[in-house]
Amino acid sequence: MTVSPEARPDAPDRHRLSRPEAPHTPSRSVALRLTGAEQDCGRARDFVRRTLGEWDLDHCGADALMVVTELAANAVLHGVSHSVARASARSAARSPASPVCGEAEIWLRLSLRRPAHLVCAVTDPCDSPPVYPHASDPLDEHGRGLRIIDALSEHWGWTRRQPMGKTVWAMLPTGRQA
């Protein structure tokens, strides 16, 4: 696994829905570090395609690609930009020895749980919970990401990270028996 300990999407402190995991069940898990650069969405989609191919889950590709694209876009739009702005505002008041929180780092993690479920998780440096929109105009350019994730996944939720940040995850069916 390529996830650093401080960016692991499986740490405690759960919110909304608990972490989707079965005890004593073998799992597969891979992660990709993203920085919020323009080419990262393409890298994330390539990573999903390649991983699902290696796991013989190509049939899950369309839904997983859509979910990962929405999760990553939300992390860049709301997580990274919010955290970088917050860190910039704090940097003027900090001493040279103080750490700057909220660096632009995103982790995409794919996990196969109980062969029947694929978990797509994106970790970003922002503490703010995801906001599910009350209603959206079909012609709006933004605001439908969590609705799409909700429609395509069996469950989704988020986990607060320590010392800062959050992981937003979605559990997709693979069509295989557990």
For residue range 66-92, list pLDDT tens digits in order. Answer: 999 999 988 988 777 554 445 444 444
The domain total for the chain is 1
CA distance 153 to 176: 15
User: Residue 40 sits in a domain of what CATH number?
Assistant: 3.30.565.10
HSE-CB at 27 with a 13 A cutoff on CA atoms is 20
Per the domain annotation, does 8 fall within a domain?
Answer: no
pLDDT of 170 reads 98
Is 159 strand, coil or helix?
strand
Per the domain annotation, does 9 fall within a domain?
Answer: no
Q: What value does the mean pLDDT of the chain take?
A: 76
The dihedral over CA atoms of 168, 62, 171, 159, expressed in degrees to the nearest 10, equals 0
Per the domain annotation, does 35 fall within a domain?
Answer: yes
Higher pLDDT pick, 24 / 162: 162
Higher pLDDT pick, 78 / 126: 126
> Amino acid letter at 176?
R
Per the domain annotation, does 164 fall within a domain?
Answer: yes
Domain that holds residue 87: 26-91+99-173
Query: Nearest 5°: CA angle at 39, between 4 and 35?
Result: 30
Per the domain annotation, does 13 fall within a domain?
Answer: no
pTM: 0.72
Higher pLDDT pick, 169 / 74: 169
Per the domain annotation, does 119 fall within a domain?
Answer: yes
Per the domain annotation, does 21 fall within a domain?
Answer: no
Contact 152, 67 (CB under 8 A): yes
